[in-house]
Amino acid sequence: MILATQFLNVALAIAFLALALGQVMSMVRLVLGPTSGDRVLALDTMVINALGLVIVLGIHQGVQIYFEVALLIAMLGFVSTVAMARFILRGDIIE
């Protein structure tokens, strides 16, 4: 029978590998994306994957500061995605 801590370690390893694979695939889309919209979506996906990696690392190490870092990453990622989309659509960010 598998213990809860062993199950958690296996689940964290699988989550880390899945997020790392998603990050690599997003980097490929960022480089190969034929349009600027694809590149913006790839950057947004990379922010979400980085957020997931930070949270998985925080759960693995048992340190709560990583969750505050994840909040900062999420806020900066949202603002940067909106700014980039406005720049692509209108040509300027601030009206």
Model pLDDT for residues 67-80, shown as the tens digit of each residue:
999 999 999 999 98
Q: What is the pLDDT of residue 93?
A: 67
* CA nearest neighbour of 77 among 66, 85, 65, 87: 85
Model pLDDT for residues 38-91, shown as the tens digit of each residue:
888 999 999 999 999 999 999 999 999 999 999 999 999 999 888 888 888 887
pLDDT surpassing 90 at residue 25: yes
How far, in Å, CA of 39 to CA of 41, rounded?
Answer: 5
Global pTM value: 0.84
Q: How many residues does the chain have?
A: 95
Distances in Å between the Cα of 52 and the Cα atoms of 30, 65, 74, 94, 95 are: 19, 14, 10, 30, 33
What is the per-residue DSSP string for 39-56? HHHHHHHHHHHHHHHHHH
